Structures are given as structure tokens and as C-alpha cells.
Amino acid sequence: MSDESSDANLGLERLIFFSDAVMAIAITLLAVDLRVPEIAREVAAAELPRQLVEMAPKITSFVISFVIIGIYWIAHHRNFGYIKRYDTRLILLNLLFLLFIATLPFITGLLGEYSYLALPNMLYAFFAACIGLAVFAIWRYASHNHRLVDEQISADLIRAVNVRGLVGPLVFLLSMPFALINPLYTQIVWWLVPLSAWLVTRLVARKAKQMEH
Amino acid sequence: MSDESSDANLGLERLIFFSDAVMAIAITLLAVDLRVPEIAREVAAAELPRQLVEMAPKITSFVISFVIIGIYWIAHHRNFGYIKRYDTRLILLNLLFLLFIATLPFITGLLGEYSYLALPNMLYAFFAACIGLAVFAIWRYASHNHRLVDEQISADLIRAVNVRGLVGPLVFLLSMPFALINPLYTQIVWWLVPLSAWLVTRLVARKAKQMEH
Amino acid sequence: MSDESSDANLGLERLIFFSDAVMAIAITLLAVDLRVPEIAREVAAAELPRQLVEMAPKITSFVISFVIIGIYWIAHHRNFGYIKRYDTRLILLNLLFLLFIATLPFITGLLGEYSYLALPNMLYAFFAACIGLAVFAIWRYASHNHRLVDEQISADLIRAVNVRGLVGPLVFLLSMPFALINPLYTQIVWWLVPLSAWLVTRLVARKAKQMEH
Amino acid sequence: MSDESSDANLGLERLIFFSDAVMAIAITLLAVDLRVPEIAREVAAAELPRQLVEMAPKITSFVISFVIIGIYWIAHHRNFGYIKRYDTRLILLNLLFLLFIATLPFITGLLGEYSYLALPNMLYAFFAACIGLAVFAIWRYASHNHRLVDEQISADLIRAVNVRGLVGPLVFLLSMPFALINPLYTQIVWWLVPLSAWLVTRLVARKAKQMEH
């Protein structure tokens, strides 16, 4: 399918735009699961605060998913900053990424409703890992032998982005067995993702700066 | 209405953008139909796995529709890569295409809920064929006598894209009578669409390469 | 607020893009109101066809709204093709237009559920007229004394677009009293909108061609 | 993370586009909360007008949120007109802004359902203030020492935009105690936001004009 490979900017822009639109819709739809509680008018004043507090697991899983889509949007945004061409296989890998993104609101709803069970926590960690692995696969495919990326990108940078892309999925996969001990533990492990992403980004940044000098 | 025909890039970009946005929303809304099952807390641990397994037909039809919109997005993306001008009729044909796309989440929900009946399977195949025929009509209208496409595109390529555009709708229409034997058969036939699309794309690509040399 | 008036292309593009996104979401959300009927498995085979037929008014109002947003998108698209600058007042008029667009899915749902009553038909006609009047107001504001449009646009063309913009709202407003005789009559009158829009567009096109020669 | 700071136009455009898409979806999803009342056919003619009148608080909160997102979209649009570069921190601040925007439909639904209670009014005012403070934080971060804005922007203009950005949040925060006296008072105070925004914009505009001469 290499015949479709082209440096046509418009085509690549449209691919990026389509991905951004799907991510924007998914990130906004997350909140649709936060349903307004229905309470009779007579008891609403007393009941509403209690029911809002009971929504805590739903609100938590909404915020977690928002952060995750946000982080993967940044990663997608960064990686596509280096990608200069596209072909059909890249489109297909990107569609796989969008399939996981589009499924996340459902998985988030499941987690919000049944956060006290092991299964939704494991399922959520698995899907979050899949999103990250899809981002990783896009980068790996595009950067291998400078297939679709800028020629001037160093092999070191390509490797660094590869490593960075594996951190998130790894943490998510490692968090899965914790759900069997206590579902809450899983979610605590997840907060390592932004932390480790930030750490690895710093390291990559330092390396990139060293390479420039 | 040929007076509106212009090579104004911005106008064409806006048309493509609007189409991408509608497709992005439709593809993300597909998952909205995957509703979180409501189970009492006492039995949730035992019930949830069973209810998720029962959602299998809904998840299958979600994935099928995702793949279909994905494939037609690629086709739309590819064809509009050759289209350089637009007129009111192209906009109207494109709106017809978007009407079918916007209806697909409903048809998908119908299929997910009643996959064991013939009617939703036939309806789904019919709508999927309509989407493909709309893409075909857009291309046919735009490419006829190089009406709106790049002048340098060969008659062979135009014909090849025409053929490719008919494969999907044909398979979908042919799958319809199978629903009368067994609804499941219809869905098995559908998987021929990506397969045949891939095959025809390969053939078109080979032809395009031969033409270049 | 004229200080904000600028020919900054990016700002205008962003305004158009935001409008397109809202229209794309509204046009796709229309179908969300088409809910999959819930039927017990034992009677589904017999019940589903009947329930789908009963959805006819919902499907009709979905298609009507799709056509209306489609037509107004084309009008918005065309008019903004002439607009070259923007200021805060244009943004505010455009937000008013988007407010009516965002409300249409609700009004459509109302019409689909209670198409046999006069009130929803009159409300719908009123809102459809409001959308058209907002498009008209945008054009009137932008084109008055060539305030924000291309300097080379003739006064004749400006007047022609003004006239074209009033046709839709006029037909919708005139359709309102018909609802009091028979709600169905209102919807029949609406089909004059695309017809008259097409006619006036032809006339405008002929005039524009004459002006060129 | 300054290594990511770049004047790459495409990256900044993509950031703005993603924000616009989220705002467009949130502003259109507001109306999803306006649910069509379900009434038996026999009594619909008499019941529908009454039930629509009863929806007044929902419609009011829909319009308020539409105006608020509209105003903040204009502010975001204006401020990013001056911003010429971006870095990871700007992306994170912008994601925080989008988190509040994505939550607004839920808070709006809460206000529409329980407008007669103090809590939803205070919560709403708090969230609306948060959105404004996020816009303020984005501007403050980007404009400090001309970090990411155009070099030629005067310190006076930067200060003026800072002041303008604090008006909205201030009014919203000040409206909160009014909810304890009477929930309706809060909403009356909110209408000071567009008024004061308009006033301050006029003042900023006059100052900007004076600076030019």
C-alpha cells in the first residue's frame, strides 16, 4: 500500500484532525455519565448533598479518564509533530487507537458504577494500557527506519520516544493484579502514570538537549 | 448552479472538515449505546461478568460499525484527495452521505439489541450499502469528465476508484438474503468487505504503479 | 469594539471552525433521539416491524431537521465565503445562530414525539425561522456598507443574498397558522423551503452571471 | 520542559482546534439535558404547554451556560490570538480549562433540576469562576515576561487582559453567598458578568486605541 504514502500535508492534517475530533468528543462524553440524581422536591435539600457525595467514585473515574485521554492526546500530539508522511497502515493503526479511545467512556462508566469490584478495575487498566500500546505502535511503525518521520530525527530520540511510550502501558498492566487484593489499590497505582510520564519526559528532554549541544 | 463551482481551497477544506466532524461524532457516539448494566450491589460481583458476556452482540455491532465508518472515512479521505473543486451538487451528495452516517448509530443500536432477528440485519446491510453508494455517487459525480478532480488524473485511475467503490455496497446488498436463512450468516458475509476492499486496493495500487512507470 | 476588527485569517477560520463543529454535532445528535425500542425477546420478531413503523413521525422530524441544518450550513458556508473580516458583534450574532442550532435537537425531539399537536409544529417552525433570521442578520451586519465583506462584491449581489436569506424564514413563519387547521399541513408547507431556496439560488446565480458579463 | 517550547504553528493550531472542539461539544451537549416530556396521548394537548412552562428553570440554566461558554470561548479566542508559542505547561493549563468546560453540562443539569436550592447555585458559580480562573491562568502564564506571546505586545495590554480576565471569576465568587439568602439572587448577580465584561472590554479597547496613537 506504499503507493498511498505521500507527503501530502492536507491528507496528514485531515488524519490528525479526525483523531483530535474523536478524542475531543470522547473526553467531553465522559461527563455524560455523571447523571443528575433524581430526588423528590420535598427531600431534595437534605438528600442532594448526600447523593453528590455518593457520586464520588463516578467523579473520580471521570477525572482519571480525563487525565488519561489528556496525557495520550499530548503523546499523540507530540509524536505526530515528528511524523511527516502517512500511509494506509498508519491510518489503520490510528483507527485502532481511536477504537480504544471511543470505548473508554463505556469502560469509565463501568468503573464509576462498580469501582468496588476487581473486574472493572482490571478491565479499565487493560484498556488504558491498550490505548498506550496503540500510541506506541503508531510511533514504532512510523519511526522504524525513518519510515514516515522527519529524516533529521536522531536514532536516540526515536528510541527515547519508544521508551517513554512504554511507561504508561507498563504501569497499567502491572496495576492489574493489585485489583485482586483490593480494587482501590489498582487506582492508586495508576497515579504513577502521570508521575512516571513526567519523569521520563524530563529525562528525554535532558537527552534531547544534550544531543543538540 | 455551476456558478458556485470554484477552486476556492477554503470552501473545499470546510466541506471536508464538516464531513470529518460528523464522521468523528458518529464513530464516537456508537459506544454511547453500550450502556453500563445496572445491578444491585449485593449480587454485582457474580452478575457483572455474566451481563458483560450478554452484551457480546452489542459490542460486536459496535466494532462492526466502527470498522465500517473507519473504512468509509478512508475512502472519503482518499477520494477527496483527488477532488480539487466543489459545487452545490457535490455538497448535496455529501450531505446525503452524512445523513446515512448520522443514522448508523441508531441502526447499530437496533442490530445490537435484536441481532437474532432478520430485519435489523437486513436493515443494517442496506444502510451500510447506502453509505458506500453515497461515497460512490460523490466520486462518480466529481470525476465524470474530470468535472471536479485534478485534470492530470488518468481515466484508468478514475475507473479503478469507481470499481473499488462498488465492492463494499455489493457485498452488503448480497448479504441481505442470507439474513432470511440465518441472521448470523449476514454478519459473516460482512467481513468480506474489509477483505475485498483490501484486495481491490492492492489491485488498484498495482495498476496505479504501472501507470506511473 | 471595532478595535477587534481585523483581517486576521486565523481568527476568522477559528470562528468558522467553531460554527462548523457545533453544526456537525447538532446534526449528528438529531439521531440520538431515535431510540431503539425495547421489546421482550419472545415477541420481538412480530413487534419490531410495527414499532419501527410507529417511529415514522420521529424519523420524519429527524430527516426534516437534517435537511434544515444542511441548508443553513450551506448558507452559512456560502455567506462566510464572502466575509473577510470579523469583529465582536459578528461573533455575538454567530453565537445567537449557534444557540438556535444547539436547541434544534430538543425541538426536533418534541416534534417527533407530539407531531399530532399544533404547539410543537408551531414551535418548530418558529425556531427554524429564527435560525434563518440569524443567518440573515449575520449577512446583513457583515455586508452593510461592505463592513466585513470583500470590497469587490457588488451591491446587487449583497442585495440578492439578503433576499435569498429571507425566503426560508418567511416560509416557516407563514407555515405557523396552518398548524391551527391541521398540524400535518405545517410540515407540508416546510417542503417549500428547499424548493424556494433552490429557485432563488438559481435566480441569484443567473443575476451573478449577468453581472460578470 | 522548555525543550518542547517551539513556535511550530501546526502544534499550536492543533491545541486551539482541540480546545474549540471540546467547547463546541460541551455547548451543544448542554441541550441534551432538555429532555422531551413523556405524556400519554390522550392528555398531551392539555399537558404539554404546562410541562414546557415547568421546564423554565432547565431552559434558563441551558441559556446561562450557553452564554458563559460563549463568553469564555471569545476570551480564549482573543487571548490565543496573542499567543505565538506553546509548551507542555500551557497544554496542561489548557487541559485544566477543558476539564471545567467538560464538567459544565453536568453542573448545568444539576442547576436546572434543583435551581430552588442553594447548593447547586453555589456549585455552579464556583465552577463558572473556575473556568474563568483557568482562562486567566493560561494568559498569566503565557504573557509573563512575554513567555509565549508576541514580543510586540505592550505591558499595558498584558495588564489590561489580566484585569479583564478577573472580572468574571470575581462576580461569580461574589454571587455565591447570595445563594444562602435566596438561590434566585445568585442567578441575578450572574447577569453582571456579560455586562461587566462588556464594560471592561470597552475600557481595554479605549486604552489599546490610545496606545496605538
Q: Which is nearest to C66 in space by CA: C18, C33, C115, C19?
A: C33
D63 touches chain C (CB under 8 A): yes
* Nearest residue in chain B measured CA to CA from C49: B119
Is residue C79 over pLDDT 70? yes
Residues of B in contact with C35 (CB under 8 A): 109
Strand partners, B6: B86
Three-state DSSP class for residue A113: helix
A27, A35, A82, A150, best to mutate vs chain D, most D CBs in 10 Å: A27
C26 touches chain D (CB under 8 A): yes
Q: Write the CA distances from D34 to B32, B158, B199, D66, integer angstroms.
A: 18, 48, 48, 13
Q: Cβ(D112)–Cβ(D58) under 8 Å?
A: yes
Q: Is D192 left (phi over 0), alpha (psi -120 to 50) or beta?
A: alpha
Q: Cβ(D180)–Cβ(D154) under 8 Å?
A: no
Residues of D in contact with C26 (CB under 8 A): 28
* Nearest residue in chain D measured CA to CA from C9: D81
What number is the average pLDDT over the span C29-55? 91
The beta-carbon neighbor of B25 closest among C25, C52, C205 is C25
Pick B11 or D119 by higher pLDDT.
D119
Flag if B20 and A14 touch (Cβ within 8 Å): yes
The beta-carbon neighbor of A24 closest among D1, D18, D33 is D18
Cα(C104)–Cα(C36) distance, integer angstroms: 21
Cα(A82)–Cα(A151) distance, integer angstroms: 9
Query: Residue B55: phi, psi to the nearest 5?
Result: -80, 0
The beta-carbon neighbor of D103 closest among A31, A81, A209 is A31
pLDDT, block means (10 residues), chain A with 213 residues: 46 91 95 89 91 93 94 91 90 96 95 94 95 95 87 85 88 92 88 79 71 58
Crossing angle (nearest 10°) for helices A56-82 and D88-113: 150
C49 touches chain B (CB under 8 A): yes
- Which 80-139 residues of chain D touch chain C by CB within 8 A? 81
Cα(D108)–Cα(D110) distance, integer angstroms: 5
3-state secondary structure chain B: CHHHCECCHHHHHHHHHHHHHHHHHHHHHHHHHCCCCCCCHHHHHHHHHHHHHHCHHHHHHHHHHHHHHHHHHHHHHHHHHHECCECHHHHHHHHHHHHHHHHHHHHHHHHHHCCCCHHHHHHHHHHHHHHHHHHHHHHHHHHHHHCCECCCCCHHHHHHHHHHHHHHHHHHHHHCCHHHHCHHHHHHHHCHHHHHHHHHHHHHHHHHHHHHC
**What is chain D's alpha carbon radius of gyration, rounded to the nearest angstrom?**
20
Cα(C40)–Cα(C28) distance, integer angstroms: 29
List chains touching A (3+ CB pairs under 8 A). Answer: B, D
* Nearest residue in chain A measured CA to CA from D95: A70
Flag if A88 and B25 touch (Cβ within 8 Å): no
Helix, strand, coil abundance in chain A, percent, nearest 5: 80, 0, 15
The length of chain A is 213
Query: Residue D86: phi, psi to the nearest 5?
Result: -150, 160
Q: Which three cell numbers stand for residue A134?
A: 496503540
3-state secondary structure D104-123: HHHHHHHHHHCCCCHHHHHH
Residues of A in contact with B62 (CB under 8 A): 103
Cα(A25)–Cα(B23) distance, integer angstroms: 11
User: In which residue are the cell numbers 446488498 written?
Assistant: B173
Q: Over the stretch C87-132, which tens digit does the pLDDT of each residue have?
A: 989 999 999 999 999 999 999 999 999 999 999 999 999 999 999 9
Residues of C in contact with B99 (CB under 8 A): 63, 66
The confidence score (pLDDT) of residue C213 equals 56
Flag if B36 and A8 touch (Cβ within 8 Å): no
Q: B129, exposed or middle or buried, with CB in 10 Å at 0-12, 13-18, 19+?
A: buried
The beta-carbon neighbor of B48 closest among A98, A101, A117 is A117
Cα(A177)–Cα(D64) distance, integer angstroms: 46
Is residue B206 over pLDDT 80? no
Q: Which three cell numbers stand for residue B49?
A: 461478568
The beta-carbon neighbor of B77 closest among A11, A25, A106 is A11
Flag if D15 and A73 touch (Cβ within 8 Å): no
User: In which residue are the cell numbers 482518499 written?
Assistant: B78
Cα(A108)–Cα(A66) distance, integer angstroms: 10
Q: Over the stretch B125-137, which tens digit does the pLDDT of each residue have?
A: 999 999 999 999 9
A16 touches chain D (CB under 8 A): yes
D32 touches chain A (CB under 8 A): yes
Residues of A in contact with D105 (CB under 8 A): 31-32
Closest Cα of chain A to D205: distance in Å? Answer: 33
Closest Cα of chain C to D35: distance in Å? Answer: 7
The beta-carbon neighbor of A95 closest among B70, B202, B208 is B70
List chains touching D (3+ CB pairs under 8 A). Answer: A, C
Where do the H-state alpha helices sit in chain D?
A: 9-29, 44-54, 56-82, 88-113, 118-143, 155-175, 178-181, 183-190, 192-212
DSSP category for residue A32: G
Query: Residue C6: phi, psi to the nearest 5?
Result: -155, 160
The beta-carbon neighbor of C70 closest among B95, B110, B120 is B95
The maximal CA–CA distance of chain D, rounded, in angstroms, is 70
- Contacts for A146 with CB less than 8 Å, ≥ 6 apart: A153
Three-state DSSP class for residue D149: strand
What number is the average pLDDT over the span B5-16? 71
* Nearest residue in chain A measured CA to CA from D113: A36
The beta-carbon neighbor of B29 closest among C32, C41, C66 is C32
The confidence score (pLDDT) of residue B67 equals 93
The beta-carbon neighbor of B18 closest among C24, C81, C209 is C24
Q: Which is nearest to D110 in space by CA: C94, A47, B142, C151?
A: A47
Flag if D20 and C15 touch (Cβ within 8 Å): no
Cα(A198)–Cα(A195) distance, integer angstroms: 5
* Nearest residue in chain C measured CA to CA from B109: C36
DSSP category for residue D176: T
- Output the tens digit of pLDDT for each of chain D's 213 residues: 333 444 356 788 899 999 999 999 999 999 888 889 999 998 988 999 999 999 999 999 999 999 999 999 999 998 998 998 899 899 999 999 999 999 999 999 999 999 999 999 999 999 999 999 999 999 999 998 888 888 888 888 888 888 888 988 999 999 999 999 998 888 888 888 778 877 877 777 776 666 655
Three-state DSSP class for residue A83: strand
Q: Over the stretch D122-162, which tens digit does the pLDDT of each residue have?
A: 999 999 999 999 999 999 999 988 888 888 888 888 888 88
Flag if A21 and B16 touch (Cβ within 8 Å): no
Q: Cβ(D89)–Cβ(D144) under 8 Å?
A: no
The confidence score (pLDDT) of residue B49 equals 94
Flag if A11 and B81 touch (Cβ within 8 Å): yes
Pick B206 or B189 by higher pLDDT.
B189
- Contacts for D175 with CB less than 8 Å, ≥ 6 apart: D125, D185, D186, D189, D190
Cα(B183)–Cα(B119) distance, integer angstroms: 8
The band of B151, judged by pLDDT with boundaries at 50, 70 and 90, is confident
A205 touches chain D (CB under 8 A): yes
Residues of B in contact with C18 (CB under 8 A): none
Flag if C1 and D202 touch (Cβ within 8 Å): yes
